[in-house]
Amino acid sequence: SRIKDGLPTYGSCAGMILLANELIDGAVGQETFGGLDVKVRRNAFGRQVDSFESDLRFEGITEAPLKAIFIRAPWVESVGPEVKVLASVDGHPVAIRQGSLLATSFHPELTGDNRVHRYFVDTVCKEAMKVGSR
């Protein structure tokens, strides 16, 4: 209910899965918190042995590309009209935003680069506070 009420929320990897309204290849009976108007495919890039790193351009982060670490990562199969794609790999969205929700299919916390987390606080949270104070 807090997410539905506009609580700024960021989910990476499994967090993206939990924030998705629809899940593809989920475990039988698996539920999500929802909030993002997206379909997400679990383990879309493959198994643990298929984990990889990639340099990404992330809309809203204008410095050098991000080093993104993907571990059994999901990707976004489809997005609704209110969802903004911030980064993609091979045509698949891997960073998305909808209002006060941000999700990535990679793990920025494993790189020592805090720019995604700064984007969440400086952009997503601050915009949510402005909307909430009206």
Q: Which residues carry out catalysis? A: 13, 107, 109
Residue closest to 60 by CA, chosen among 115, 17, 1, 3? 115
Residue closest to 87 by CA, chosen among 73, 72, 103, 101? 103
C-alpha distances in Å from residue 83, one per residue of 32, 49, 50, 102, 107: 17, 31, 28, 10, 20
Residue closest to 14 by CA, chosen among 35, 39, 36, 40? 40
